[in-house]
Amino acid sequence: MDNGKHYNIAIDGPSGAGKSTIAKMLSEKLEILYLDTGALYRAVGLKAMRDGWEENDEKVSELIGGIDISVRYDMGTQRVYLDGEDVSEEIRRNIISDYGSRFSALPSVRSALLDLQRKTAAKYSSVLDGRDIGTSVLPNAKYKFYLTASADIRARRRYNELIAKGQSVDYETVRRDIEDRDKRDMTRAVSPLKKAVDAIEIDSGDMSTDEVVNKITEYISK
């Protein structure tokens, strides 16, 4: 697709809208790289939890330069490293969703992770999913999508995912967590979650993942 030229696809949207599943399927279909940017914020959140960082931008700005976050690909699957340790599984814990969201609101954290995202996108044709890809990380991305679904559907999906992974959670807590994260991600001062004016909005609520991927590839091939 796209005559083998370099291009990037930005997929933004709230938690549980299906971004990572769709982005991964899309990257396989189009044979391009997938960068899950939420995983980078989660790695910072994990470090903050482990070391008891205070949620204070001045303090975090002194610490963030001392950590190394990188990604590698194992058979096409992204692995995330924190100071050389593979933390890909640990960052999926529900508590890290909260830490990731809270620390992602700090300007020092956002600017520390910008370079890795932009360099990866510049080097490879890729699909990046996150909250601010189309608005801030890659405002010139060739294709931009904003994926949504109701809070109830997103909470139900996240609950099923966590249960399938053997984590013990209850639906009401997951729903409350989703609403708290939505509010925090959408109202923070720096790069809040919002639809880029030139992004195509897709409500994935009543759609299968295949339908969403087909809809996106239809737009791209137009």
Residue 135 contacts residue 12 (beta carbons within 8 Å): yes
Which residue matches tokens 């997103």? Answer: 154
Q: How far is the CB of 201 from ligand DC (least distance, A)?
A: 17
- Among 15, 88, 135, 148, indicate the residue that binds ligand DC (CB under 6 A): 15
Q: How many residues bind ligand DC (CB under 6 A)?
A: 15
If the CB atoms of residues 1 and 186 are measured against ligand DC, the closer one turns out to be 186
- Among 48, 125, 181, 199, indicate the residue that binds ligand DC (CB under 6 A): 181
Q: How does DSSP assign 152-214, residue by residue? A: HHHHHHHHHHHHHTT----HHHHHHHHHHHHHHHHH-SSS-----TTPEEEE-TT--HHHHHH
How far apart, in Å, are the Cα atoms of 5 and each of 1, 27, 59, 84, 123? 8, 15, 42, 33, 12
**Does 108 interact with ligand DC (rule: CB under 6 A)?**
no
Q: Measuring CA to CA, which residue among 107, 150, 141, 133 is closest to residue 194?
A: 133
**Does 13 interact with ligand DC (rule: CB under 6 A)?**
no
If the CB atoms of residues 32 and 158 are measured against ligand DC, the closer one turns out to be 158
Q: How far is the CB of 104 from ligand DC (least distance, A)?
A: 4
- Give the pair of three-digit tokens for residue 28: 């396989």
Cα torsion for 182, 187, 190, 191, to the nearest 10°? 50
Q: How far is the CB of 41 from ligand DC (least distance, A)?
A: 3
Cα torsion for 168, 36, 44, 57, to the nearest 10°? -120
- Among 10, 27, 34, 100, indicate the residue that binds ligand DC (CB under 6 A): 100
If the CB atoms of residues 7 and 185 are measured against ligand DC, the closer one turns out to be 185
**Does 37 interact with ligand DC (rule: CB under 6 A)?**
yes
Supply φ then ψ for residue 65, to 5 degrees. Answer: -65, -20
Q: How far is the CB of 180 from ligand DC (least distance, A)?
A: 10
Q: How far is the CB of 15 from ligand DC (least distance, A)?
A: 5
**Does 131 interact with ligand DC (rule: CB under 6 A)?**
yes
- Give the pair of three-digit tokens for residue 84: 């050389």
If the CB atoms of residues 20 and 125 are measured against ligand DC, the closer one turns out to be 20
Residues in the site for ligand DC, rule: CB under 6 A? 15, 37-38, 41-42, 97, 100-101, 104, 130-133, 181, 185
